[in-house]
Every structure is written in structure tokens, then in C-alpha cells.
Amino acid sequence: MLGLFVLLGVTESLFGEDPAPKLEVKIAIPVHHHQRSLNTNGDHFHVLVKNISDQPLRLWSEHFSWGYENLTFEEITEDGKVRTIQKNPGEWSKNFPDWLELKPDDTYVLNVKFAAPGVWENPPQAKAGEKPTKIKLRAVYQISPDKESNRLGVWTGKVVSAVDTYAIW
């Protein structure tokens, strides 16, 4: 199962490096025929956010605005530039600061489908006539401090996975 977990995370606070990481983030795309493959026309994949501390941690639920945009991706181009892949703004008929709690060693599984209509801005695409297209990608999970995170004791900081290469179909 560990072979399915692609990327190790490094935690940083918003004000510099955290001395003791509390979360790690991984993209869970297994190697298949010597490459990590993703069909962006319909496949989904998971991003795993794991509590690696010895204390429970609260995170925002992704179902409301506080947690909806916490997961982004960075594509690193051949010339070293970083292109951000983020969610388009959401619309909320009901919205409140909803949190979940991860006990030590618990994992929050986020389902990602780049082909979901209207959800992702700048999702990676295979180049015409170049399938698969190889890209370098990492996941970023970040919660910025605000009044509600302080009031409800929600973890704040930034966790970045390692960069890996993916074959986009």
C-alpha cells in the first residue's frame, strides 16, 4: 500500500518552517506500467492529508468555503516555472466554518477529478499529439489563520508534497 503513496509532505507554517511537522500530504497515484498515469478526461485520484503528530488536529471540511480552496496543485514546467492549479470560486447556499478532527495517524482523503466541470482552474491537459504528456506536479494543502480558525482551534499552516512526474492522457 505504501507503494501507492507517491509524495511525502513537508510542513511549513505561514511564517517559516515548523520545527515539528504535524501533517503530511501525498498524491495517491500508483505506478502502472512504469509510470504514474492520470487520464484527465475522467479519472479521479486521491490526495491524502495525514496527521503525523501525537495530538488530534482540526481541519476545515472541504464542503464549505473555509476548506473548499485549501488544496491546490503546482505544476513545475520544463523551464522551472510554477503554474498553480486551484479550484474556481464556489457558490454556497449554506456556508459555515465546519471542521473535522484527525486523530494521530488518521488520514483525510480528498477526491480530485480535474475533469469535473467548472471545479478546477487551469487543470493539466495532455498536449495534442503528445500522449502521454509528462508533467511534474506537487500538492499543496494550506489553511490560513483567521478569526474562525483561532476560535475553533483549527490547524493552520502549509504542507507541500514532493514533486513527482505524471503521465497525462
State residue 90's pLDDT score: 93
State residue 24's pLDDT score: 97
Confidence of residue 7 (pLDDT cuts 50, 70, 90): very low
Q: CA-to-CA distance for 37 and 28, rounded, in angstroms?
A: 11
**131 or 19, higher pLDDT:** 131
pLDDT one-digit tens code per residue, 39-78? 888 889 999 999 999 999 999 999 999 999 999 999 999 9
Which of 3-12, 30-39, 114-123, 143-152 has the least mean pLDDT? 3-12
State residue 130's pLDDT score: 86
Q: CA-to-CA distance for 132 and 126, rounded, in angstroms?
A: 6
**43 or 7, higher pLDDT:** 43
pLDDT over 60 (residue 19): no
pLDDT over 70 (residue 18): no
Confidence of residue 16 (pLDDT cuts 50, 70, 90): low
Quote the strand ranges of the chain, DSSP E. 9-13, 16-17, 23-28, 31-32, 35-38, 45-51, 57-60, 71-76, 82-87, 99-102, 107-112, 120-121, 133-143, 157-161, 164-168
Q: What's the mean pLDDT in 27-41?
A: 92
